[in-house]
Amino acid sequence: MKRIKMGCTTLSIPAMALGIMRMNQKSVPEAQVAIQAAYDAGINFIDSADIYGGGKSEEIFGQAFSQMQIKREEMFIQSKTGIVPGKRYDFSKEHILHSVDEILERMQLDYLDSLVLHRPDALMDPEEVAEAFDQLQAAGKVRFFGVSNFDTAQFKLLQSCLSQRLMFNQLQFSLKHTGMIDFGMHMNMVDKPSVDRDSQFLDYARLHKVTVQAWSPFQYGMFEGTFIDNDGFPKLNQELQKQADKYEVGKNAIAAAWILRHPANIQMLVGSMNPQHIRDSAKGAKIRLTRQEWYDLYLAAGNYLP
């Protein structure tokens, strides 16, 4: 598995993480198979959130992982907080502290390697968040911190009040969600791709050594479904298959290789619980697409160049 530097540190993390959003749909033995498949492929980074499956995903993970032979220190385990389903976003100190305690209990852990704030809270008080982070770190409950779906200004605002460096920003990025790179190539144009909806965060991340974590790497829209083997995207799947045949892998590996080919050293979140899909996706980390192959996929996905 390709390894990358985490944020501004010298700590090495895998270029892929296993997202456990759908683990609530699996039995404990099935969850163990998925975790083991990821671990065997070099993916020793887990990404969760307190809202996944209403907390059940973390419960299943906790039960599964506690019965496995993998040592805790061999895994990097991350969770997210800040969304109160159907009610509000909540970055209050009280909510953050309480949520972490519940996460640790569900996952049967003594600490999290990373805590990520899950989608921006319009009522965020950066000083209050800083107090929560300091308390969690001092208590040994969280080692590192990050955010999810923050724009550049929101990221800077929070960072200005923290004693810790933010390591991550989770952003949607895939062959069918390319806004972060479209506008740069359509600079000085008036077409739809020229609109910057991500406040140039990818460039900011490269300048300030922030690890971008790409979520939904095989999805189109937000949660409409996968573009892999989807009849609605014939040109893209034809190009994916062409390159998959060349590299003797599956389509998932090529879609993953496309993300990892970007020089920002993006970490990709694999959300599948299918061991075969996990293993095939992991093969993408060993492939370095040529520039032409990368652009061929970009164009086959329905994008165009000015």
One DSSP character per residue, 48-67 reads: --TTGGGGHHHHHHHHHHHT
Which H/E stretch holds residue 219? Answer: strand 219-220
Dist. CA 293–CA 151, nearest whole Å? 30
Please indicate, yes or no, if residue 175 is contained in any of the structural domains: yes
Please indicate, yes or no, if residue 69 is contained in any of the structural domains: yes
Please indicate, yes or no, if residue 271 is contained in any of the structural domains: yes
Please indicate, yes or no, if residue 135 is contained in any of the structural domains: yes
Give pLDDT tens digits for 95-131: 999 999 999 999 999 999 999 999 999 999 999 999 9
pLDDT of residue 221: 82
Calculate what percentage of the chain has a pLDDT beyond 90: 94
Token pair 């009849």 in the structure block, residue: 231
Q: How confident is the model at residue 263 (pLDDT cuts 50, 70, 90)?
A: very high
Dist. CA 174–CA 180, nearest whole Å? 10
Please indicate, yes or no, if residue 281 is contained in any of the structural domains: yes
Please indicate, yes or no, if residue 305 is contained in any of the structural domains: no
Please indicate, yes or no, if residue 306 is contained in any of the structural domains: no
Please indicate, yes or no, if residue 208 is contained in any of the structural domains: yes
Within 8 A by CB and 6+ apart from 22, the residues are: 52, 53, 57, 271, 272, 273
Residue type, 138: A
pLDDT of residue 223: 75
Average pLDDT on 47-66 reads 98
296, 239 Cβ separation under 8 angstroms: yes
DSSP 8-state assignment for residue 139: T
Give pLDDT tens digits for 160-206: 999 999 999 999 999 999 999 999 999 988 899 889 888 899 999 99
174, 255 Cβ separation under 8 angstroms: yes
Beta strands in the chain (DSSP E): 3-5, 12-14, 16-19, 45-47, 76-81, 83-84, 88-89, 112-118, 142-148, 166-172, 211-215, 219-220, 225-226, 267-270
Dist. CA 260–CA 281, nearest whole Å? 11
Domain of 77, in residue numbers: 3-300
Tokens of 81: 């907080």
CATH number at residue 36: 3.20.20.100
63, 28 Cβ separation under 8 angstroms: yes
**Which residue in 224, 218, 184 sits closest to 297, CA to CA?**
218
Task: Indicate the average pLDDT of the chain.
Answer: 96
Quote the number of domains for the chain.
Answer: 1
pTM confidence score: 0.95
Q: Where in the sequence numbering do the catalytic residues fall? A: 52
Whether 301 shows a pLDDT value over 80: the answer reads yes
Residue type, 167: M
pLDDT of residue 222: 76
